[in-house]
């Protein structure tokens, strides 16, 4: 298949629409960009990205939590409140609808929000955990957390583990930590077995997640890449859609299943 690129306003090549429609198994990998139109900040967009305004090493590593648990917990409480106050957008909704059209759709996300689930997707593979979950930093005991809904990132002491007295931490994967083993295995298997891989809203710079695009390319999968910006994953794609996922994903759905329009 020849590589092509289009803006979000042009039509999808028939060959791609047919591949999607005939697929037995579609794998999808999403990143922060898919939740951007819901109002959740991405990490690396210039000016608005979280890592443009905060230092990852102060907030998203185990060492940072040990150094200043209240700083880290307060920041995640603020982000948790943002997630709880947003709604799924047209991109999340299109993926849930696509899953109803194919025998199998595996949705892999780097996102720690629950917007895919709230849009109707099930069995989502969360490579980087969930911001709505919490567990003890010391003993790992799951903690039933009730978000404080704080509207800023002020310091807040984390709850105390009822089992061991340790500090409770957010249920996300931090830099330097391993991905949940079973989730990663399932994601890799889905990419190996799928007919089409859709990648949406990720800068493709954080490994091992970013390696899934390379794996699909080596396996000669049809890859559809969706992002308003160029990324280093474009070179793997059979189709690059240059636009927001809230526009491009509904376009893909409508091209492959026009009866849903
Ligand atoms: P990034 O912030 O690195 O990348 C977001 C991507 O979304 C960028 O390439 C944007 O161009 C694109 N984007 C922005 N708006 C978009 C829209 N409306 N539609 C589609 N794309 C849009 O976020 P991730 O790639 O998800 O890790 O980052 C990967 C990981 O790095 C995150 O999971 C997080 C972070 O540190 C952990 O928390 C462990």
Residue predicted with more confidence, 145 or 99: 99
Q: What is the pLDDT of residues 141-160, one digit of tens each?
A: 999 988 788 788 889 999 99
Judge whether 128 counts as a catalytic residue: yes
Residue nearest to atom 7 of ligand 1 (CA): 33
Ligand 1 centroid from CA 44, angstroms: 6
Strand residues in the chain grouped as ranges (E):
4-7, 25-30, 104-109, 125-126, 129-136, 168-172, 196-200, 222-226, 239-242
Say if residues 117 and 88 touch (Cβ distance below 8 Å).
no
Residue nearest to atom 6 of ligand 1 (CA): 202
Ligand 1 centroid from CA 31, angstroms: 5
Residue predicted with more confidence, 99 or 51: 99
Q: What is the pLDDT of residues 106-128, one digit of tens each?
A: 999 999 999 999 999 999 999 99
Tell me if the pTM is above 0.85: yes
Please state the separation of Cα 109 from the chain's center in Å. Answer: 3
Say if residues 200 and 34 touch (Cβ distance below 8 Å).
yes
* R_g of the chain computed on alpha carbons: 19
Ligand 1 centroid from CA 165, angstroms: 35
Pocket, ligand 1, Cβ cutoff 6 A: 31-33, 36-37, 42-45, 49, 60, 110, 128, 172-173, 200-203, 206, 226-229, 231, 244-246
């Amino acid at each position: 298949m020849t590589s092509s690129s289009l803006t979000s306003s042009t039509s999808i090549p028939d060959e791609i629409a047919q591949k999607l429609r005939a697929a037995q198994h579609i794998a999808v990998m999403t990143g922060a960009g898919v939740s951007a139109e819901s109002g959740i900040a991405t990490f690396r967009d210039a000016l608005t990205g979280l890592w443009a305004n905060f230092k990852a090493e102060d907030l998203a590593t185990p060492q940072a939590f040990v150094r200043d648990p209240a700083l880290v917990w307060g920041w995640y409480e603020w982000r948790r409140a943002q997630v709880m106050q947003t709604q799924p957008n047209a991109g999340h909704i299109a993926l849930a609808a696509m899953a109803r059209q194919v025998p199998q759709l595996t949705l892999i996300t780097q996102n720690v929000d629950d917007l895919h689930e709230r849009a109707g997707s099930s069995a989502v593979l969360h490579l980087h955990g969930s911001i709505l979950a919490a567990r003890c930093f010391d003993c790992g005991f799951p903690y039933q957390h009730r978000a404080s809904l704080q509207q800023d990132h002020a310091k807040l002491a984390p709850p105390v583990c009822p089992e061991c007295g340790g500090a409770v931490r957010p249920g996300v994967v931090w830099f330097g930590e391993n991905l949940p083993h079973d989730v990663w295995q399932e994601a890799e298997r889905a990419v190996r077995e799928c007919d089409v891989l859709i990648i949406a809203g990720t800068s493709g710079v954080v490994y091992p997640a970013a390696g899934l695009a390379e794996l699909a390319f080596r396996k000669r999968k049809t890859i559809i890449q969706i992002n308003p910006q160029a990324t280093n994953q474009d070179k793997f794609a059979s189709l690059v859609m240059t636009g927001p996922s809230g526009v491009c994903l509904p376009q893909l759905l409508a091209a492959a299943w026009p009866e849903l329009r």
